[in-house]
């Protein structure tokens, strides 16, 4: 009976939900939900749905309860949306959640995505927005535009499986005419892969994936 009740609540609220930052639609917890989910004494928001194009797809699902974002407790959907809106491009987000059928845990993802991007513009978007520094360890971003793909102190490790040891390696690798490009970065101890692709219809896609945690 409780499962049926929860299913009805989710269906109604998901139908009413508007667009949300990160493509994650949430609803405030009420007394009935808190009791049904055995979360007495906790605050948070419950996930109604996750947009298919959201980077959180596969990380969050309907029925999960988000208790905190980057160490900050969440008390309302408005608070969750506000934190989502101020997330910097490419920032790793740490979510404290209570999955539907599992104990409280932490999950991480990178919400930023670029819907319009072509391989021809990648070198401009990367090199045009950063100052690079060549060190004994390779190529590091000395300064980056906050809206760019790279961040200050990023270390560029590989491009399309080619090790980047100097700036000329980076520039040559970005001249590729292939329909896909993969860049491996070290960002504050976390290894991140930025993937670019252009399909046969000319549509371009960009995503970021956390490979290892700091």
Residues 171 and 105 in one domain: no
Residues 8 and 103 in one domain: yes
Tens digit of each residue's pLDDT, the chain (214 residues): 444 334 433 443 443 344 567 888 898 888 887 787 788 778 889 999 888 767 788 888 998 999 999 999 998 999 998 888 887 656 778 899 998 888 888 888 777 554 455 555 666 666 667 888 988 888 998 888 755 678 888 999 998 888 999 988 887 887 765 667 788 999 888 888 877 766 555 555 566 677 776 6
Residues 98 and 178 in one domain: no
Residues 105 and 11 in one domain: yes
Domain membership of residue 182 as a residue range:
119-212
Residues 26 and 66 in one domain: yes
Residues 92 and 191 in one domain: no
What's the per-residue H, E or C state across the chain?
Answer: CHHHHHHHHHHHHHHHCCCCHHHEEEEECCHHHHHHCCCCCCCCEEEEEECCCCCCECCECCCCEEEEECCEECCCHHHHHHHHHCCCCCCCEEEEEECCCCCCEEEEECCCCCCCCCHHHHHHHHHCCEEEEEECCEEEEEEECCCCCCCCCCEEEEECCEECCCHHHHHHHCCCCCCEEEEEEEECCEEEEEEEEECCCCCEEEEEEEEECC
Residues 75 and 143 in one domain: no
CB 13 within 8 A of CB 32: no
Tokens of residue 42, six digits: 């906790």
Give a yes or no: residue 133 inside a domain.
yes
Domain boundary among 61, 90, 109: 109
- Number of domains into which the chain is organized: 2
Residues 20 and 69 in one domain: yes
Distance of CA 54 to the CA centre of its chain: 8
Give a yes or no: residue 114 inside a domain.
no
Residues 14 and 93 in one domain: yes
CATH number of the domain at 175, please.
2.30.42.10
């Amino acid at each position: 009976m409780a499962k049926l009740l929860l299913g009805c609540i989710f269906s109604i609220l998901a139908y009413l939900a508007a667009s949300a930052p990160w493509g994650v639609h949430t609803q405030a917890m009420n007394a009935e939900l808190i009791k049904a989910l055995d979360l007495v004494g906790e605050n948070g928001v419950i996930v109604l749905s996750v947009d298919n194009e959201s980077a959180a797809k596969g990380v969050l699902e309907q029925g999960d309860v988000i208790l905190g974002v980057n160490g900050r407790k969440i008390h309302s959907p408005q608070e969750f949306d506000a934190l989502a809106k101020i997330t910097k491009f490419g920032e790793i987000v740490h979510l404290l959640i209570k999955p539907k059928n599992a104990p409280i845990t932490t999950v991480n993802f990178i919400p930023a995505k670029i819907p319009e991007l072509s391989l021809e513009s990648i070198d401009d978007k990367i090199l045009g927005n950063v100052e690079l520094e060549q060190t004994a360890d390779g190529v590091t971003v000395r300064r980056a535009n906050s809206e760019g793909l790279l961040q200050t102190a990023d270390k560029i490790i590989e491009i399309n499986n080619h090790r980047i040891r100097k700036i000329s390696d980076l520039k040559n690798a970005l001249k590729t005419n292939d329909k896909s490009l993969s860049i491996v970065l070290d960002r504050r101890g976390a290894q991140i892969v930025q993937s670019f692709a252009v399909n046969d219809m000319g549509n371009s896609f960009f995503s970021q994936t956390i490979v290892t945690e700091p």
